[in-house]
A and B are shown apart, each in its own frame.
Chain A
Amino acid sequence: AQSVAQPEDQVNVAEGNPLTVKCTYSVSGNPYLFWYVQYPNRGLQFLLKYITGDNLVKGSYGFEAEFNKSQTSFHLKKPSALVSDSALYFCAVSSNYGGSQGNLIFGKGTKLSVKP
């Protein structure tokens, strides 16, 4: 069965410092990995995805994520955090395996808090 784990409920970072939001996954077939961000009272906004190719994926708002097949991880990173990055971040996985292709499985979310 496909699953996604976000081990941290909350990540606290000082503005200007680098940030990392962790994600590990389990999937049959080739994994397709996604990061979404949710601001209060809003829907989910797509940040970036890994399908194939370069393991380092760059996305919106200066975010990037590194696909690590051996560790089955897809951690979200940003070199210098902004207060406006404070939000709820979701990792999600789908695959090309089986009858539920395209169905995203989401992690429970990590709340990122960036303090001035």
Chain B
Amino acid sequence: ETGVTQTPRHLVMGMTNKKSLKCEQHLGHNAMYWYKQSAKKPLELMFVYSLEERVENNSVPSRFSPECPNSSHLFLHLHTLQPEDSALYLCASSQLRGGRDTQYFGPGTRLTVL
């Protein structure tokens, strides 16, 4: 798991706060991903960055704003969240190989919105 790190591991925020989640990959990969894992729901792909360009945005509300300044770092900026946004947010990275690539996940950030 040390190949992909995420901070913070736990975050509690109010609905009016602004916070950011950070992900860093040490694997030399060229793609990074944000997923949302809620109780009793399948993992939801939120954003995909390929070579630092956003290539996927699965109808995610604008209160979630991703940023990928370079191939090793990925951020998820949060503002005016809702209680239903409480979930485990997972970051992953891979080396793109036309669908055959393996994604490696970080430990996640457990987010609670009050």
Give me the interface of A with B, judged by CB distance under 8 Å: 29-30, 32, 34, 36, 41-46, 49, 51, 90, 94-97, 100-104, 106-109
Given contacts A43-B4, A101-B99, contact A109 B108 (CB under 8 A): no
- Chain-A contact segment, one of B13-21, B39-47, B65-73, B74-82: B39-47
B interface list, Cβ under 8 A from A = 1, 4, 6, 31, 40-43, 45, 48, 56, 90, 92, 94, 96-108, 110
**Residues B108 and A94 in contact, CB atoms below 8 Å apart:** no
The answer to whether A108 and B41 touch across the interface, beta carbons within 8 angstroms, is yes
- CB nearest neighbor in B for A94: B99
By the criterion CB–CB under 8 Å, are B105 and A102 in contact? no
Question: Number of residue pairs across A and B with beta carbons under 8 Å?
Answer: 61
Instruction: Report the nearest B residue to A6, measured CB to CB.
Output: B42
B45: which of A29, A97, A101, A103 is its contact (CB, 8 Å)?
A: A103
The dominant DSSP class at the A interface is loop
**Chain B interface, DSSP helix/strand/loop, else mixed:** loop
Task: Determine if B99 and A43 form an interchain contact, defined as CB atoms under 8 angstroms apart.
Answer: no
**Interface hub of B31, B43, B99, B103 (most chain A Cβ within 10 A):** B99
Is there contact, CB below 8 Å, between A104 and B45? yes
With A and B bound together, what is the CA distance between A32 and B100 in angstroms? 6
* 20 intermolecular pairs with C-beta atoms under 8 Å apart: A32-B99, A32-B100, A36-B105, A42-B1, A42-B107, A43-B6, A43-B108, A45-B105, A46-B103, A46-B104, A46-B105, A97-B99, A100-B56, A102-B31, A102-B94, A102-B97, A103-B48, A106-B42, A106-B43, A108-B42
Task: Report the bound CA distance from A100 to B108 in whole Å.
Answer: 24
List B contacts of A108 (CB < 8 A): 40-42
A32 to B99, CA, bound (A): 7
Residue contact A46 to B90, C-beta cutoff 8 Å: no
Q: In the bound complex, do residue B105 and residue A51 qualify as a contact, i.e. CB atoms below 8 Å apart?
A: no
* A97 CA / B1 CA spacing, docked (Å): 30
Q: How far is the CB of B100 from chain A (nearest CB, A)?
A: 5
Q: How far is the CB of A105 from chain B (nearest CB, A)?
A: 8
